[in-house]
């Protein structure tokens, strides 16, 4: 019996995913866990490597590989803040993780993010370049091909196309207090990340925009396969909005909704404040994700909600809104756009990054970045057309494009393709 079990485990294909966070309250943690669950249902053995120092030990269907501890995360943070060496600390934790990789011998290694204070990417990619395992790398932001920042659209920087230096975002995540190592970081990343042969590294941008950006970077010669993120279209569905309208005293109002986990200038908080100053008395802005200190700065016609009680209440807010507004200045493929559309609500967004990719003539409107007057015009056009015009069109589009089960199945198909080469 024991030998039979051992034989089956040897025959079972092994998937190992890497991401700093495991918890499902984060988009990358949820995506990684749900890909692992689908892989398990399809006969794979699923492993997940993540930062123990950031997420501790949490329940998960996949077999967990906690990397490092709180002390190693602290040391990595110091290396980042003092010397701008993000991704180049945690040496011992990385060596221990590589030993686990050697013992597991996965068939596919799937990287999500490696910037998260838990791995030395130089050591990891030295190993990956020498082993024969196909590597899939899902690109959730821009950090892997810049010398420092994880987005650059807000400040309009294009130094990453030729080599960074004199970084205008040194003080942004991953923050460095004094040292600007962006030029050397760029070269270190280029050398490490392109050490994997092109036939063993498949890059999966989650938007057409970031794919097109990466074609201007040192990854230009690699294979790109765009796989958009997905959502739970059963949870994010058109629902009765009467409860949330009553709860937040929204009866008789045209609701302009915005949702973010963290609000900032880049996410468009200042644009919402400007928009609020142009509204009629029967129009109100509702912002989810507002902190107490931000709440005090909001105009009277902006309702700030720290968080909803559950996902179902968030779906009700999407359904209650006349229009969802996403005035983001930089983004890859915003989940909130998909959630709003899936709940039958049109999206108005700036023409930036991948935020426009889910917005068609049938699901919303796009305006130029920073043009708040045009933003207001688009909002009122969407309100004038009405939910009766948009609702069924948005829902049909969501069911055709946003089902997370289908997007995760795309990954399993990619794994099969890579293993059949």
Is the domain 2-230+405-419 a CATH 3.40.50.10320 member? no
Please report the pLDDT score of residue 181 as a whole number: 98
Give backbone dihedrals phi and psi of 85, rounded to 5 degrees, phi first.
-115, 50
Reported confidence tier of residue 3, pLDDT bands at 50, 70, 90: very low
Residues 387, 380: Cα–Cα separation, whole Å? 12
Contact criterion met (CB below 8 Å) for 289 and 306: yes
Instruction: Give the residue-averaged pLDDT of 108-120.
Output: 97
Return the residue matching tokens 């969501």.
398
> Higher model confidence: residue 159 or residue 11?
159
- Identify any residues that bridge with 67 across adjacent strands, giving them in sequence order: 51
Contact criterion met (CB below 8 Å) for 91 and 72: no
Percentage with pLDDT > 90 across the chain = 93
Q: What is the DSSP string of 292-354?
A: HHHHTTS-TTEEEES--SSHHHHHHHHHH-SEEEE--SS-SS-HHHHHHHHTT--EEEES-TT
Compute and round to an integer the Cα radius of gyration of the chain: 22
Please report the pLDDT score of residue 401 as a whole number: 98
Contact criterion met (CB below 8 Å) for 358 and 341: yes
Please report the pLDDT score of residue 132 as a whole number: 95
Q: Fold match between 2-230+405-419 and 242-402?
A: yes
pLDDT at 25 over 60: yes
Please report the pLDDT score of residue 32 as a whole number: 97
Give the single-character DSSP code of 5.
Answer: H
pLDDT at 2 over 60: no
Residues 93, 41: Cα–Cα separation, whole Å? 31
Contacts (Cβ under 8 Å, ≥6 apart) of 152: 142, 146, 158, 160, 169, 330
- Which architecture does CATH list for 242-402? 3-Layer(aba) Sandwich (3.40)
Return the residue matching tokens 């005293």.
249
Instruction: Give the residue-averaged pLDDT of 361-380.
Output: 98
Residues 67, 208: Cα–Cα separation, whole Å? 32
Give backbone dihedrals phi and psi of 324, rounded to 5 degrees, phi first.
-100, 130
Residues 207, 82: Cα–Cα separation, whole Å? 33
Whole-structure pTM value: 0.94
DSSP H or E run through 22: none
pLDDT at 277 over 90: yes
Chain centroid to CA 355: how far? 12
Please report the pLDDT score of residue 6 as a whole number: 43
Residues 304, 311: Cα–Cα separation, whole Å? 17
Give the single-character DSSP code of 396.
Answer: H
Give backbone dihedrals phi and psi of 224, rounded to 5 degrees, phi first.
-110, 135
Q: Kindly list the domain boundaries of the chain, sorted by start residue.
A: 2-230+405-419, 242-402
Peptide bond into 200 cis (omega under 30): no
The number of CA neighbours under 13 Å toward the Cβ of 315 is 16
Residues 15, 35: Cα–Cα separation, whole Å? 10
pLDDT at 288 over 60: yes
pLDDT at 56 over 90: no
Instruction: Give the residue-averaged pLDDT of 406-411.
Output: 98
In tens, the pLDDT along 213-228 reads: 999 999 999 999 999 9
Please report the pLDDT score of residue 24 as a whole number: 85
In tens, the pLDDT along 371-393 reads: 999 999 999 999 999 999 999 99
Return the residue matching tokens 């935020």.
355
DSSP H or E run through 200: none
Return the residue matching tokens 């003092």.
82
In tens, the pLDDT along 134-148 reads: 999 999 999 999 999
Q: Mean pLDDT for the chain?
A: 95
pLDDT at 291 over 80: yes
Distance of CA 347 to CAs 119, 145, 168, 199, 398, Å? 38, 30, 31, 39, 12
Distance of CA 199 to CAs 118, 213, 222, Å? 27, 21, 8
Distance of CA 230 to CAs 221, 278, 324, 398, 399, Å? 27, 34, 18, 9, 10
Q: How many residues appear in the chain?
A: 421
């Amino acid at each position: 019996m024991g030998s039979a079990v051992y034989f089956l485990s040897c025959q079972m294909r092994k998937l190992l995913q890497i991401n700093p966070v495991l918890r499902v309250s984060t988009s990358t943690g949820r995506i990684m866990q749900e890909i692992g669950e689908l892989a398990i249902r399809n006969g794979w053995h699923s492993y997940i490597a993540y930062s123990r120092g950031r997420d501790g030990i949490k329940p998960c269907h996949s077999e967990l590989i906690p990397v490092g501890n709180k002390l190693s995360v602290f040391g990595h943070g110091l290396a980042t803040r003092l010397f701008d060496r993000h991704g180049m600390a945690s040496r011992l934790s990385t060596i221990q993780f590589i030993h686990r990789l050697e013992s597991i011998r996965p068939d596919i290694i799937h990287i999500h993010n490696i910037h998260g204070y838990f791995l030395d990417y130089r050591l990891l990619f030295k190993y990956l370049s020498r082993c024969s395992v196909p590597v899939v790398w899902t690109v959730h932001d821009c950090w892997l091909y810049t010398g420092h920042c994880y987005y650059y659209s807000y400040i309009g920087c294009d130094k990453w196309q030729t080599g960074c230096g004199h970084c205008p975002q040194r003080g942004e995540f991953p923050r460095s207090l004094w040292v600007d190592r962006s030029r050397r970081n760029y070269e270190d990343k280029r050398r490490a990340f392109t050490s994997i042969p092109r036939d063993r590294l498949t890059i999966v941008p989650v938007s057409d925009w970031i794919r097109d950006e990466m074609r201007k970077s040192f990854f230009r010669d690699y294979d790109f396969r765009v796989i958009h993120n997905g959502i739970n279209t059963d949870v994010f569905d058109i629902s009765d909005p009467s409860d949330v309208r009553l709860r937040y005293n929204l009866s008789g109002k045209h609701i302009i909704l915005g949702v973010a986990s963290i609000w900032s200038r880049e996410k468009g908080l200042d644009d919402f404040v400007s928009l609020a100053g142009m509204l009629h008395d029967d129009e109100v802005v509702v912002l989810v994700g507002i902190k107490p200190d931000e709440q005090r700065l909001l105009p009277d016609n902006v309702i700030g909600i720290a968080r909803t009680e559950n996902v179902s209440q968030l779906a009700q807010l999407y359904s209650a809104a006349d229009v969802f507004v996403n005035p983001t200045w930089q983004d890859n493929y915003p989940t909130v756009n998909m959630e709003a559309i899936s709940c039958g609500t049109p999206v108005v967004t700036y023409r930036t990054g991948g935020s426009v990719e889910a917005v068609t003539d049938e699901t919303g409107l796009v305006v130029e970045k920073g043009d708040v007057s045009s933003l207001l015009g688009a909002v009122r056009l969407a309100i004038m057309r009405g939910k009766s015009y948009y609702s069924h069109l948005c829902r049909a589009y969501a069911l055709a494009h946003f089902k997370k089960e289908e997007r995760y199945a795309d990954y399993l198909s990619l794994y099969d393709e890579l293993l059949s080469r």
